[in-house]
A and B are shown apart, each in its own frame.
Chain A
Amino acid sequence: MVTVMTDLETIARPKPVGGVEREVWELAATVLDPEVPVLTIEDLGVLRGVSVADDRVAVQITPTYSGCPAVDAMRDDIVSALHGGGYDDVTVSVVLAPAWTTDWMSEAGRDKLSEYGIAPPARREPGGAVRLGLGIQCPHCGSLHTREVSHFGSTSCKSLYVCQRCQEPFDHFKEH
């Protein structure tokens, strides 16, 4: 089990082990998702890699969904974060393969989502049994007595729920 989780973590966050590339990674990792501004692109698993050759920095990110309009904002934010760190020659490219999945979201990211009022995606056990959803937990009152209002929400990655106990509507970051 531990091995499986470690492998998933390596895929989700391919951090360079050290040196200047690690510094660049840590800077890029401070950039927030403009649509869910408590999550960093590292929490999301959207930051896919960095490389440094001479003074040229290349950063790779992946979109959550094909049409995700936040990609352009993330790209600009990465460039400005790295400029702030003294890296002037920065290119950000976007990769689609392997396709992003919510399995890449960090545990810290899931906690931050809950605190922010968005129900986090359930984690699927890689290679293990499929976990059946018994209900999405209301991030306000913790009740499992909730109902999906619409599978499509304010952004591509969210669906819309309402809590049957506290009656509050909330977003759910849907498993993908």
Chain B
Amino acid sequence: MIPNQRTATTALTPEAIVSSHTTAQAPVAEYALGLGDDALILAQRLGEWIANAPELEEDVALGNIGLDLLGHARSLLSYAGSAWGKSEDDLAYFRCEPEFRCRQLFEQPNGDFAQTIARQLIASVYFGELYRALQASDDPILAAIAAKAAKELAYHLDHSVQWLRRLGLGTEVSHERMQRGIDAMWPFVGELFSPDRYADAAPGIAVDPASLRDAFDALVPGLIADAGLEVPQVPFARGGGRDGIHSEALGPLLAEMQVLAREHPGASW
């Protein structure tokens, strides 16, 4: 059953979605799966920084940001899974690489800290604009997940902008590494705004990725310039994440993320 109007009591966490027997209609589920994969894969990447960041505060900051993203992923995947009788864990642990739909930016390796900040800057602006727009979705559950997420994304953006400036305007070395990080991540920007056939199939519910481009362009190049850095002139990567086409970075990430669940299927805490 799909609730047909937004109410103040829409059930939304993974457990609540399951226990309310709310099921997503197929096109909504297909769309939510892609969004959930974006958040899940980036959360997994950020988790790699824990106990490994330049300072303890950054372990905590990147861990917290990853935890927020994991929260978004859990809601989105649980909702998507409701259409197919699958749990969030079924979707996270028991799909193979070509079945994942994350855009390629989110699976890119952490690189050095500056490269992670570059990826976070792009991702935070993109997610922020996406969730802002998705709050107007005709689907009440997606709208509510987005309303919750949008508030959290403001912190994520603040974190990346602070580091962008600190590194860009810092020492010669930090400046150079920050520029290198942006150069490495910029090829993956174009894909974020390229057509998504799952969004096309859910008009009124999904956000058209192309509609987010203007807001991104109005913000990010200015932030980069303010940090004394340059927007690189580089061709875009081929993309295709939504269709299951990925860079070589995703496979090893999935192997690590999925190994425990696959060795011990059904295990719980």
B is a partner of A: yes
Q: Which residues of A contact B (CB under 8 A)?
A: 48-49, 60, 63, 65-69, 71, 91, 93-100, 149-154, 156, 160, 176
B136 at the interface (CB under 8 A from A): no
Contact B57 A152 (CB under 8 A): yes
Question: Which 4 A-B residue pairs are closest in the complex by CB-CB distance?
Answer: A66-B71, A67-B71, A96-B12, A97-B144
Counting chain B CB atoms within 10 Å of each CB, the highest count among A94, A150, A152 belongs to A152
Query: Are A156 and B13 also in contact (CB < 8 A) when A66-B148, A96-B75 are?
Result: no
Taking beta carbons and an 8 Å cutoff, which residues of B are in contact with A? Answer: 6-13, 15-16, 19-20, 57-58, 60-61, 63-65, 67-72, 74-75, 140, 143-145, 147-149, 151-152, 155, 158-159
Please give me the residue from chain A that is nearest to B19 by CB atom: A93
B151 to A152, Cβ gap below 8 A? no
Do the beta carbons of B144 and A156 come within 8 Å of each other? no
Q: Residue of A at shortest CB range from B61?
A: A152
Is B13 a contact of A96 with CB atoms below 8 Å?
Answer: yes
Complex Cα distance A156/B151, Å?
12
Is A156 a contact of B68 with CB atoms below 8 Å? yes
B148 and A97: CB pair below 8 A? yes
Please give, as numbers and ranges, the residues of chain B lying within 8 Å of A99 by CB-CB distance.
Answer: 144, 147-148, 151
Contact across chains for B149 and A66 when beta carbons are under 8 A apart: yes
B13 & A63 in contact (Cβ 8 Å cutoff) = yes
Whether A66 pairs with B68 at a CB distance below 8 angstroms is yes
Interface SS of A by simple majority = loop
> A100: which B residues are within 8 A, CB to CB?
148
- Please name all residues of chain A whose beta carbon is closer than 8 Å to the beta carbon of B148 when the two chains form the complex: 66, 96-97, 99-100
* CA A63 to CA B14, docked complex, whole Å: 12
A–B Cβ pairs within 8 angstroms, 6 of them = A49-B9, A67-B74, A97-B7, A152-B57, A152-B155, A176-B151
List residues of chain A with CB within 8 A of the CB of B15.
93-94
Grouping DSSP codes into helix (H, G, I), strand (E, B) and loop, the B interface class, with mixed when no group exceeds half, is helix
Chain A residues near B147: list those with CB within 8 A. 96-99
Other-chain contact of A67, B8, B12, B70 (Cβ < 8 Å): B70
Cα–Cα, bound, A83→B161 (Å) = 48
User: Is B11 a contact partner of A152 (Cβ separation < 8 A)?
Assistant: no
Judging by beta carbons under 8 Å apart, are B159 and A94 in contact? Answer: no
B61–A151 CB distance below 8 A: yes
Known: A65-B68, A95-B16. A151 touches B144 (CB 8 A): no
Within the assembled complex, what's the spacing in Å between the Cα atoms of A99 and B20?
19
The docked-state distance in angstroms from the alpha carbon of A69 to that of B145 is 17
With A and B bound together, what is the CA distance between A137 and B152 in angstroms? Answer: 24
Name B68's closest neighbour in chain A (CB-CB): A67
Shortest CB-to-CB span from A116 to chain B, Å, is: 20
- Which of A60, A95, A100 has the most chain B CB atoms closer than 10 A to its own CB? A95
Give A65 to B64 CA distance when docked, in angstroms. Answer: 10
In the complex, what distance in Å separates the CA atom of A102 from the CA atom of B145? 18
How far is A49 from B65 in the complex, measured between Cα atoms in Å? 29
A66-B68, A66-B149, A156-B68 as given contacts; A97 in contact with B6, CB under 8 Å: yes
A95 and B158 in contact, given A152-B57, A156-B64 (Cβ under 8 angstroms) = no
Contact status B69-A67, CB under 8 Å:
yes
Closest to B13 in A: A94
- Please name all residues of chain B whose beta carbon is closer than 8 Å to the beta carbon of A150 when the two chains form the complex: 57-58, 60-61
**Residues of the A chain whose Cβ atoms lie less than 8 Å from the Cβ of B9:** 48-49, 60, 95, 97
- A156 in complex: contacting residue of B16, B67, B158, CB < 8 Å: B67
A152 touches B60 (CB 8 A): yes
